[in-house]
Structures are given as C-alpha cells and as structure tokens.
Amino acid sequence: MNKVALGKQWEDQVACYLIEHGYAILERNYRFHNKEVDIIASKDGSVVFVEVKYRAKKTFGDGVESVTARKKQNILSVALHYMGKKRYYNHNARFDIASIENKKLSYIKDAFHLESVPLWRN
C-alpha cells in the first residue's frame, strides 16, 4: 500500500473513532493555500482541528513529536481561516493530535494551544 493510501486509511479510522466518541465530522483534508488540516470536527460547541500522524516505527520519533512548531503554525493558519469563513466567532477551537504507532491509536486532546504557537509569517 502506498503512503497516500495508508494515510487515508488511518484518517478514515480516526474519523470513525471521533464519530464513535460523539464528534460530528465537519471537514476532511481542509485546505487553505498550501496548508491542510486532516480532520475538522465539532463536539460540545467546540471546533476541533485534528492532525493525524502515523508512524510504523519510532526511528524518527513518535507522531506527537513530529508536529513541529511550523506544522502547528500551519494548522493555526488554516483554523483561523476556517473559523472566519464559517463565522464561528463564538466557538472555542481545540487542537488535537491522533497518533498511530504500531497500529495503535493514541488520541491527545488539547495537544497544543494558541499561546504555544509562534506567530511568524512564512
């Protein structure tokens, strides 16, 4: 299976996990310019931006470690665009990471916050 198909398979599994846990899926692979968020969901009045990371081995670190400051900035950029486009001015935003390692899903709520993202321009 190629990398793109494998990524889609794991994103599908994460989407199912979210639905099973009471989330509504709003968007998949939402793009703004050259940036993307894997899954945008909602639950309890919050809009949740989910980054899905798969690692077959920990040779290069785990999935959570692979979400760099630049990746967080990109997710934030997409989130701000999405929230404005949808006029979700009174909704909370949350940033989660779904990390798959050795075919086991770990879901990290509030994996990072706006304050932890450096706000430089590309």
In three state form, how does the secondary structure of 95-112 look? EEEEEEECCEEEEEEEEE
What CATH number does the domain containing 67 carry? 3.40.1350.10
CA distances from 14 to 18, 54, 56, 59 (A): 6, 11, 16, 23
Residue 71 included in any domain:
yes
**pLDDT at position 116, please?**
47
How many degrees, rounded to 5, is the angle at CA 18 between CA 85 and CA 61? 95
pTM for the full predicted model = 0.86
> Which pLDDT tens digits describe the chain residue by residue (122 residues)?
677 777 788 899 999 999 999 999 999 999 999 999 999 999 998 999 999 987 665 555 555 666 888 888 899 999 999 999 999 888 889 999 998 887 788 899 988 876 544 444 43
Q: Is residue 119 part of a domain?
A: no
Tell me, yes or no, whether 108 lies in a domain: yes
Domains in the chain: how many in total? 1
The domain in which residue 12 lies consists of 3-113
The H or E element that residue 71 is part of is: helix 69-85
